[in-house]
Amino acid sequence: MRWYEVIRKNIAVLVSAIVFIFVFGTVAFHLTEGWDLFDSFFFTLITISTVGYSLPESISPVGKVIASVLIGAGVTIVLYGFTSITSLIIEGHIGEYFKSRRIKKMIDRLTDHFIVVGAGRTGRHTTLEIMKARRPFVVIDVSEEAIKRLEDFLGKEFPYVVGDAVEEEVLMRAGVERAKSLIVTLPDDAKNTFVVLTAKSLNPNLEIVSRVSDMKALSKLVYAGADKVIATSELAGVRLAQMALNPTTISFLDILSFGEESFRIEEVMIPPESPIAGKTLGEINLSKRAGTIVIAIRRGGEVIFNPTGDTRILPEDRLMVVGKSDHFEKLHRLIEEG
């Protein structure tokens, strides 16, 4: 049983016991002593709380027995509640409870974030790259242990949801309706397909990238709604061949992707309301103002490589940009604010 289920169970038991005792005491005093319901409830309250009082002169022997039972029950409830709370503190559940509340608030504040499904080996490196890019993300995994291993790997706390991403409720807890992209890294192609289907039904505008192990499942993932499907075995094979055929080029790309300087290539979309839409690259001067270089522009089905300074940026253009990780924050701010 998970810690939050233990808390829920203990609270339910305590509340049920308190309600039962109050109802029992109120009804018992009302029937045996002839008091009205309010007086019966009030006498039950001060009896259970053991605040100290003098017995009414008219109380019957049966009423005294009822009062004794209520005092014993009140003390028992207090002891049960105290031992339950002490146990939760000793076992660390209270800390986990507040951590879960903190993480839930973190997720509730996220918009345009990335959701990574799976905290295994593929998900681990996927999450690391997103973290390097300083983009908001949430990780979903069925195993709390896998989440803890990922925390150790990343060296920091991050928002996560423990559960099966096939379930709508789990994806909703990760903020799928506000997310920018979903990355599915599970080794099971069938499960990946179900996750894609569920996510697409909850957010039709969600961009979905999925891993596929068996190429036979690639078309199914595309039909399910995946925008991009990556075959891990094929990707590894292509990379191995490229390293043998073009070692210098691959080494340069490795420096961009994995070097200490944290260079990367990113595609950014120019929204229609952006202040830089309609201006030329020379007017914007991204290299000076943001420290980034535009290497290509994707405009509909056309790709403009190595655009010149007089190339005009149009709304909904997608810029392929090279820069350091911290420079992209300046770039996004420039696109939004001008």
Q: Which residues of 196-235 are buried (b: 16+ CB within 10 A; e: fewer)?
A: bbbbbeebeebebbbbbeeeebbebbbebbbeebbbeeee
Q: Which domains does the chain have, with CATH numbers?
A: 3-91 (1.10.287.70), 110-236 (3.40.50.720), 263-337 (3.30.70.1450)
Closest among 136, 150, 148, 184 to 164, alpha carbons compared: 184
Residue that wins the pLDDT comparison between 332 and 209: 209
Helix spans in the chain (H): 3-33, 37-49, 61-90, 93-109, 121-132, 144-154, 168-173, 189-202, 218-224, 232-245, 247-258, 281-284, 286-289, 325-337
Q: pLDDT, tens digit, for every residue of 231-287? A: 877 777 776 777 777 676 656 666 665 555 567 788 889 999 999 999 999 999 988
- Assign 3 a pLDDT band (cuts: 50, 70, 90): low
Predicted local confidence at residue 202, as pLDDT? 96
Amino acid, single-letter form, for residue 244: A
- Answer for the pair 153, 145: CB distance below 8 angstroms, yes or no: no
The stretch 210-219 carries a mean pLDDT of 89
Higher pLDDT, 258 or 114: 114
- In sequence order, what DSSP letters do the residues of 170-195 get, joined into one string? HHHHTTGGG-SEEEE--S-HHHHHHH
Structure confidence by residue, pLDDT tens digits, 30-77: 898 888 999 888 888 888 876 766 677 778 888 888 888 888 888 888
275 Cβ contact list (under 8 Å, min separation 6): 337, 338
Which pLDDT band holds residue 6 (cuts at 50, 70, 90)?
Answer: low
Start-to-end Cα distance in the chain: 52
In terms of pTM, does the model score above 0.75?
no
Helix (H, G, I), strand (E, B) or coil at 297: strand
| pLDDT tens per residue across span 162-208 | 999 999 999 999 999 999 999 999 999 999 999 999 999 999 999 99
> In whole angstroms, what is the distance from residue 5 CA to residue 118 CA?
23
From residue 294, alpha-carbon distances to 107, 129, 199, 228, 282 in Å are 32, 21, 33, 23, 11
The whole-number pLDDT of residue 265 equals 80
